[in-house]
Structure 1
């Protein structure tokens, strides 16, 4: 398999106010890599720092970038992805997912979590796969939903 044959996934991380985001992002990145999909993490400075601290040996964090830089690259047609997973726990996360749905050719997955997951899921009015769970401190509800989606998501071309 060459680099051109490798599928790429963008993992978008907003403000890390809700504790489950970092552990679930690492879990997702691990699962993508296990399936031969190269993950790229784009996030706010705080989200990227939490990821770096959680994986100091860079076992899972091969490539990280600023969230706005990633959006600029896609908008300017310098780069795109096969899959895009957007972690959402507030309105700005919904806006990021909506942006990705319109500027990218990637299949977009809105990973909605936190106290208001159901309300935020109701705000989604753009094409994407919605994965929602009321998960704030305990990642297991979101993990279970993500596991269900991952069984078929990574198989689709």
Structure 2
């Protein structure tokens, strides 16, 4: 033993809802890649459809690591069995805003609201809790949201 304290690697939770808007999967994989390169361990929590899209998109798990059910993740955090350093909630509808508010209330993680879709500006107005908002009108083309994420560079925080 060296007597030196061991530091636990930083972790990030990506909360994915219904993958109705096409950019969600590509932006999730992009964010996972950037977080991993920064030494942050990403965990994906989504509904069955969102998780399946990611698993099928990365079958050899080059980017994707742990994937869990969204309701299970909420339960684990609520029961204080697990928590994260950062939490990225993907928002394109009211349910996404609700999940972000829930994560802000139950987790100690630094909260990021990734708001996208045709009516992203309407969803931004509904966010009345502390978080960093990253927003862009991105439906089929992920580049506007990628650019907004890159400007914030949450992996460098």
After TM superposition, is the score higher than 0.5?
A: yes
Q: Deviations over 1:63-102 (max 9, x none)?
A: 0000000000000000000000000000000000000011
1:127 to 118, 126, 130: 130
1:139 maps to which residue? Answer: 142
- In 2, distance between residues paired with 1:71 and 1:3? 28
2:78 to 72, 75, 89: 75
1:81-120 maps to which residues of 2 (within 5 A)?
A: 81-120=84-123
**Distance apart, 1:154 and its partner CA:** 2.8
- In 2, distance between residues paired with 1:110 and 1:92? 12
- In 2, distance between residues paired with 1:24 and 1:69? 23
**Distance apart, 1:112 and its partner CA:** 0.3
**Would you say 1:28 and 2:31 are equivalent positions?**
yes
Question: What is the TM-score normalised by the length of structure 2?
Answer: 0.95
Question: Which 4+ stretches in 1 moved above 3 angstroms?
Answer: none
2:10 maps to which residue? Answer: 7
Rg larger in structure = 2
1:19 to 18, 22, 31: 22
- Shift in alpha-carbon separation, 1:20–1:3, aligned structure 2, 3 A: farther
Query: Could you list the runs of 5+ residues in structure 2 that have no partner in the other structure?
Result: none
**Distance apart, 1:62 and its partner CA:** 1.2
Query: Could you list the runs of 5+ residues in structure 1 that have no partner in the other structure?
Result: none
1:155 maps to which residue? Answer: 156
